[in-house]
C-alpha cells in the first residue's frame, strides 16, 4: 500500500486546503475547531451557518455518487478532505447523521421519490436527522425493539420510547426502527420509518451528561404520525436496512478523527513539558506508548479503507472501534495524570470544562456508543477467532 497522495489527489488536497484557508475565517475561525463530541452546544448557530457554506461549495456528501448530488469522491479523496478539515480547524459539524448515515441508506434502499425528497435537503445543510434505535431494553440487543407503528389510513402511527437519541432536540427528522408486525419476535417484523420530529406526538427530553451538556435525549412517541410511504426498504424488513446504516457509521470520517486525536496528543505533550510532568519516567512511557498506538491506529485504518469503496465492514470495523475508543479513553486518563490535581478544578462557573477535562469525561461514552467494547469483543471472538457463539436468550 502506497500511502503518498497520487498526483490527482495532491491537486485535490491543494484545492481543499486553499478553500479551507479562504473560508475558515471570521466567526468560523473563532470557533477554533470546537463543536465536536462532548462540546455539541458550542457555537451551534454559527456551525449551522457553516453547514450552508459547506453546502454551497458542494462539500457535503462528497462521497455520494454524482447521480445523487455528491461528487463521487474516491475513498482517498474523502480521507484527504477529512484530514484537511481537521488541519484547518474548521467548525465541528452541526450534524453528520443525515450525510453519513441516513443519506447513504436512502441511496441504497430508498425509492426514487424518497431520494428526491430527502437527499437534496441533506446536501443543502438544511435538514438535520437523528437516529432512533436504542430503547431502554434495546441497546446492545437492538433486536429487542418494542416501539411499534400501526397503519391508520395513509399514515403510520408510532408509539414507544427511544433513549440516548443524539441531537434529537435539534433534529427535523428521525429514522426510527419500530415493530410493524404485532407479535413479531426479535429482528423479524421491524420496519425503518422516517418520522418528522416537529409534531404533537413527539416529546424530546434532554439527558444531562457528565460533560454537563445534553447531546442526547429520551424521545417519546405517543401517536406520532408519518406518511405511509416513509418506510425505507420493505415493511417488515427494517432489520437489514438498520444494519446497513450501522455499517455506514464506520468509514473515512475515522481518519479525520485520528488527526484530531494527534492534535490532542501533541498538545498534551506540550502541557507535560510545561508543567514538568515530562520528566516523570512513567508519564514519558505512557506518552510514547500513546504515540505508537495512534500510529498503529492510523495505518490499520488506512489499510482497512484501501481498496474498498464501501464502509469498513466487520470484523475490521470492530477492531478499529475497540482500538480507537479505548485509546482515546486512555488519553483522557493520561491527560488527568499529567495535569495532576488541577485537572479536578473547573475554571468557569458552574461547570466550564477545558479541552482535556471534556476528553476525559466524554470519552467514557466512546466505549459504549456505536457498539460497546464488550460487543466488539464478542464480534471479534466469534467472527475472527471462531470461538463458540455466546448463548442467546432462550426465554422467549
Ligand atoms: C454518547 C452516546 C450517544 C448515543 N447516541 C445514540 C443515538 O443517536 N441513537 C441511538 O439509537 N442510540 C444512541 N446511543 C446508544 C448506544 O447505542 C447504546 O448506549 C449502546 O448500544 C449500549 O446499549 P445500552 O446503553 O442499552 O447498554 P446495554 O446494552 O444494556 O449494556 C449494558 C452493559 O452490558 C454489556 N453487554 C450487553 N450485552 C452484552 C453481551 N452480549 N456480552 C457482553 N457484554 C454485554 C455492555 O457492553 C454494557 O457494558 C448513544 C450512546 C451514547 C453513550
pLDDT tens digits for range 170-206? 999 999 999 999 999 999 999 999 999 999 999 999 9
Q: Which residue has the cell 433513549?
A: 163
CA of 364 to the centre of ligand 1 (A): 12
This prediction's pTM: 0.92
Question: Which residue is closest in CA terms to ligand 1's atom 24?
Answer: 139
**C-beta atoms surrounding 200 within 10 Å:** 9
Residue 42: helix, strand or coil by DSSP?
coil
The pair phi, psi for residue 199, each rounded to 5°, is -160, 160
Mean pLDDT in residue range 94-112: 93
Share of the chain above pLDDT 70, in %: 94
The whole-number pLDDT of residue 394 equals: 44
Note the pLDDT tens digit of each residue in 124-138.
998 999 999 999 999
What confidence category does residue 314 fall into, taking pLDDT thresholds of 50, 70 and 90? low
CA of 23 to the centre of ligand 1 (A): 38
Interatomic CA distance for residues 307 and 302, integer angstroms: 10
139 lines ligand 1 (CB under 6 A): yes
Interatomic CA distance for residues 155 and 198, integer angstroms: 16
Quick check: 226 and 192 in contact, CB under 8 A?
no
Q: How many CA atoms lie within 13 A of 33 on its CB side?
A: 17
Residue 373: helix, strand or coil by DSSP?
helix
| 260-263, Cβ contacts within 8 angstroms, sequence gap of 24 or more | 260/33, 260/36, 260/86, 261/294, 261/297, 261/324, 261/327, 261/328, 261/331, 262/294, 263/86
CA of 370 to the centre of ligand 1 (A): 8
How far lies 302's CA from each of 64, 271, 289, in Å?
Answer: 20, 29, 20
- The answer to whether residue 249 is catalytic is yes
Q: Is the pLDDT of residue 392 over 80?
A: no
Q: Which of 192, 191, 188 has the alpha carbon at shortest distance from 180?
A: 191
Quick check: 107 and 68 in contact, CB under 8 A?
yes
134 lines ligand 1 (CB under 6 A): yes
Which regions of the chain does DSSP assign to beta strands (E)? 129-132, 148-152, 155-162, 173-179, 190-196, 202-206, 217-227, 231-232
**C-beta atoms surrounding 353 within 10 Å:** 20
Catalytic residue, from 51, 83, 249, 366: name it: 249
Phi-psi region of 32 (alpha: psi -120 to 50; beta: other; left: phi over 0): left
Amino acid at each position: 500500500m502506497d500511502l503518498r497522495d497520487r498526483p490527482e489527489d495532491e491537486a485535490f488536497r491543494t484545492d481543499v486546503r486553499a478553500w479551507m484557508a479562504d473560508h475558515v475565517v471570521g466567526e468560523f475561525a473563532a470557533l477554533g475547531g470546537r463543536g465536536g463530541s462532548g462540546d455539541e452546544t458550542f457555537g451551534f448557530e454559527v456551525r449551522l451557518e457553516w453547514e450552508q457554506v459547506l453546502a454551497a461549495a458542494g462539500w457535503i456528501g462528497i462521497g455520494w455518487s454524482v447521480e445523487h448530488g455528491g461528487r463521487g469522491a474516491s475513498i482517498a479523496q474523502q480521507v484527504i478532505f477529512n484530514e484537511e478539515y481537521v488541519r484547518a480547524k474548521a467548525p465541528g459539524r452541526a450534524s453528520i447523521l443525515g450525510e453519513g448515515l441516513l443519506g447513504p441508506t436512502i441511496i441504497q434502499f430508498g425509492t426514487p421519490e424518497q431520494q428526491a425528497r430527502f437527499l437534496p435537503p441533506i446536501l443543502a445543510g438544511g435538514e438535520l436527522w437523528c437516529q432512533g434505535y436504542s430503547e431502554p431494553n434495546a441497546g446492545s440487543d437492538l433486536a429487542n425493539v418494542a416501539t411499534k407503528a400501526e397503519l391508520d389510513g395513509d399514515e403510520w402511527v408510532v408509539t414507544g420510547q427511544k433513549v440516548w437519541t443524539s441531537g434529537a432536540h435539534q433534529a427535523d427528522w428521525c429514522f426510527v426502527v419500530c415493530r410493524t408486525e404485532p407479535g413479531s419476535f426479535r429482528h423479524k417484523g421491524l420496519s425503518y420509518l422516517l418520522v418528522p420530529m416537529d409534531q404533537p406526538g413527539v416529546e424530546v427530553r434532554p439527558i444531562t451528561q457528565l460533560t454537563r451538556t445534553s447531546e442526547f435525549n429520551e424521545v417519546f412517541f405517543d401517536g406520532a404520525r408519518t406518511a405511509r410511504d416513509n418506510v425505507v426498504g420493505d415493511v417488515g424488513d427494517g432489520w437489514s436496512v438498520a444494519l446497513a446504516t450501522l455499517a455506514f457509521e464506520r468509514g473515512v470520517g475515522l481518519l479525520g478523527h485520528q488527526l484530531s486525536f494527534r492534535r490532542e496528543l501533541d498538545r498534551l505533550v506540550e502541557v507535560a513539558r510545561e508543567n514538568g510532568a515530562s520528566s516523570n519516567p512513567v508519564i514519558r512511557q505512557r506518552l510514547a506508548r500513546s504515540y505508537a498506538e495512534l500510529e498503529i491506529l492510523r495505518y490499520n485504518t488506512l489499510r482497512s479503507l484501501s481498496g474498498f469503496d464501501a464502509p469498513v465492514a466487520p470484523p475490521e470495523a470492530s477492531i478499529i472501534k475497540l482500538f480507537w475508543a479505548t485509546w482515546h479513553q486512555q488519553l483522557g486518563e493520561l491527560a488527568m495524570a499529567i495535569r495532576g490535581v488541577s485537572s479536578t478544578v473547573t475554571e468557569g462557573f458552574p461547570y466550564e470544562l477545558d479541552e482535556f477535562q471534556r476528553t476525559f469525561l466524554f470519552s467514557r461514552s466512546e466505549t459504549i456508543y456505536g457498539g460497546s467494547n464488550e460487543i466488539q469483543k464478542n464480534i471479534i471472538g466469534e467472527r475472527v477467532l471462531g470461538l463458540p457463539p455466546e448463548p442467546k436468550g432462550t426465554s422467549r
